[in-house]
Structure 1
Amino acid sequence: MKYVIIGTGNISKTYISALQSLPACELIGFVSRSKTSGDNDYRLPCWPTLAEVDRPFDAVIITTPNGLHHQSAIEAARLGKHVLVEKPLDITQGAMDGMIDAAARANVTLAVSYQRRTNPDNMAVKALMEQGAFGRIYSADLSCRFWRDQRYYDSADYRGGYALDGGGVFMQQACHNIDNYIWLFGMPARVQGELDTFAHRIEAEDHGAVVLRYDNGMIGTIVASTCAPPGYPPRLEVSCEKGTFTLLNDCISDWHVEGIDNPASTVPPADDPGASSPTVTDFSRHAAVLADFEQAVARGTTPLADGKDARRTTDLVLQIYRCQERKS
């Protein structure tokens, strides 16, 4: 398909690399309010609005700040274009409803880049979960101990705020991991938590811990932080009826499950660059998301993370924030 990338920030470069790695994909240009045509390293056209794009294209990739996603998604859908959104889907329930409704009305595909789902070990665990292979799940504990310095938050006025970022570490840095958590275990029945701002001059939280209780009895925990230098790979530890296992940076690092061979296909990396930097250097999982997106469009099937499914991640984060607001 032919793509237009909306937004020219840091993450757009990751999508450019991913598109270039897939021979059937073509990037025809950008939509940006800050750049003019050809004002980019790729010498591609740059239009101020999507309506002004004067070349044929099939889909958009939205890389604008979180709280602006709905504007471009709804416009693209009304133009009959398929939509791939950088995480999260958006930051309010009303905005997400508008995006999902616009895509359904226009009969176009709406997908979100929750690329951690594409990791082979995550997919193997997901398949076993769906088979009920683990028996009863007792607990699932997710730790996202990341690091961002003050310069990161100072690099744009909206960073770490509610208006455009939608919140702090839970909405921005940890939402990939939270999405994977929900993908595996579903939505909890009850949430309790504590959030605060410790190490940065920002409006929203830079650290928090929440407890999730499920209807099936499972107790989960999520700790998310951007004040844990030097930054650590995310860790998910699961206890179940058949034993225990751990995913470190989406790779199985420990497996003690009775009667089930370890399905690990990758070795956990020593570190995770994303734990300490917003720059995404490994574009392979974004390429996998794009391949899945194109397949969904071609076959009329549901993408790995469609609008309704990806919405749940934002819903849970908003539930966490409301829990904190009730204590204020």
Structure 2
Amino acid sequence: MTPAPFRFVLVGSGGISRAYAQSIARLAPAADLAAVVSRSGRRPGGVSDDVPVFPDVASVAVPFDGVALATPNGAHREGALAAAALGKHVVCEKVLAATRADMDAMIDACAAAGVTLAVTYQRRASPDNVALKRLLESGRLGRVFGVDMEVKFYRDAGYYGSAAYRGTRAMDGGGAYMQQAAHNADLLCWYFGMPDRVVSMLARRVHSIEVEDHGAALLHYPDGMIATFTASTVCRPGLATRLSLHAEAGTLVLENDRIVLWRVEGIENPTDPNYAVHDGATSATVSDTAGHEAILRDFIEAARTGREPLASGRAARDATELILRIYENDLLGEVFGGS
């Protein structure tokens, strides 16, 4: 027997909410959009008028199984705690939250309620990223001694002016690292764990915002690996994300989650040539929702079976923790005060 659709309440009506609405529609009949939560009363683009709108999660008056949080980072805690209090599962747009206190409150509330908490770190589902993860776990690449992660995007003034919360400490929680490079922070943590030493230099070079628009970090890991991690929204015209990895077996490079260079001895290039990922180099608009669909499909199965989702709340916490350490160890002290 085919299970009933997983009924989502979509929390938020801003730009990213449209990607969630489209993803839920494309997962039918496995998923269904039961309602929208929007303080403004607005529906996301593409959501039909027969989907009811409520001002908050607690007031939703239709049956539902879980929420998809598509609100700014600073509002994730409120939505997650309200859903957990009702015994509903939670999938959250990245990042989990922008502070340690908010993340821990969300994780604890969902654990106490016995509900699944997942985060949309969809790059964990990209085939070449999965292939690299497996190679690292197998040890076939040998000792990895150097990694360079580059997130050199461009955002114009119109992006930061499109919503009052953009570029603020209270709601965004940070700039290029927290907003644009969070997926890449998650990949670094997924692949290599947490560094034991972090130093960084952060700056506001172009945009009139509260947080950084450009920065570079140096990460040292317990096994001796050294990584560089650059994040920016001022690199005109915006470049593809790039991960370079240097190991005993050789060198490989990924751009936008695709292996574009493979110089590794004794191992066949595992790239999937037919896969493409959303390129956020020049725009925050998500035109390809395949990654979101993969996360929601995984989330539904995890919620129904009780297994861990691909990016659980506890796992996703590491990405924000890494970013917070980058902020706290800023040698310049121009943006967050340094340490």
- TM-score normalised by length of structure 1: 0.96
Two-structure CA RMSD over aligned residues (Å): 1.7
**Equivalent residue number for residue 314 of structure 2:** 308
Matches within 5 A, 1:1-328: 1-23=6-28, 24-35=30-41, 41-43=47-49, 44-266=51-273, 273-324=279-330, 325=333, 327=338
Is the CA contact (8 Å cut-off) linking 1:121 and 1:266 kept in structure 2?
no
Q: CA offsets per residue over residues 262-295 of structure 1, 9 Å max, x none?
A: 00012686x9641111100100010000111111
Is the CA contact (8 Å cut-off) linking 1:36 and 1:48 kept in structure 2?
no
Q: CA offsets per residue over residues 10-54 of structure 1, 9 Å max, x none?
A: 101101111111121000110010016899741111001111111
Question: Alpha-carbon deviation of 1:298?
Answer: 1.8
Structure 2 distance, partners of 1:58, 1:266, is 37
Structure 2 distance, partners of 1:50, 1:10, is 19
Is the CA contact (8 Å cut-off) linking 2:18 and 2:44 kept in structure 1?
no
Q: CA offsets per residue over residues 54-76 of structure 1, 9 Å max, x none?
A: 11000000011101101110110
Secondary structure of the corresponding residue to residue 222 of structure 1: strand
Is the CA contact (8 Å cut-off) linking 1:38 and 1:46 kept in structure 2?
no
Structure 2 distance, partners of 1:234, 1:273, is 8
**Equivalent residue number for residue 3 of structure 2:** none
Structure 1 residue identity aligned to 2:156: D
- Unaligned regions of 5+ residues in structure 1, if any? none
Is the CA contact (8 Å cut-off) linking 1:5 and 1:29 kept in structure 2?
yes
Q: CA offsets per residue over residues 224-263 of structure 1, 9 Å max, x none?
A: 1100111111000000010010111001111111111100
Structure 1 distance, partners of 2:239, 2:44, is 39
1:19 to 1:316, Cα distance in 2 relative to 1, 3 A: same
Is the CA contact (8 Å cut-off) linking 2:22 and 2:46 kept in structure 1?
no
Structure 2 distance, partners of 1:288, 1:277, is 21
Is the CA contact (8 Å cut-off) linking 1:128 and 1:134 kept in structure 2?
yes
Structure 2 residue identity aligned to 1:11: I
Identity of paired residues, percent?
48
Is the CA contact (8 Å cut-off) linking 2:154 and 2:233 kept in structure 1?
yes
Structure 1 residue identity aligned to 2:17: S
Structure 2 residue identity aligned to 1:313: A
Q: Which shifted more, 237-246 or 316-325?
A: 316-325
Structure 2 residue identity aligned to 1:149: D
1:199 to 1:268, Cα distance in 2 relative to 1, 3 A: farther
Structure 2 residue identity aligned to 1:16: A
Structure 1 distance, partners of 2:104, 2:152, is 31
Question: Alpha-carbon deviation of 1:126?
Answer: 0.4
Structure 2 distance, partners of 1:281, 1:168, is 22
Structure 1 distance, partners of 2:237, 2:42, is 38
Question: Alpha-carbon deviation of 1:181?
Answer: 1.6
- TM-score normalised by length of structure 2: 0.93
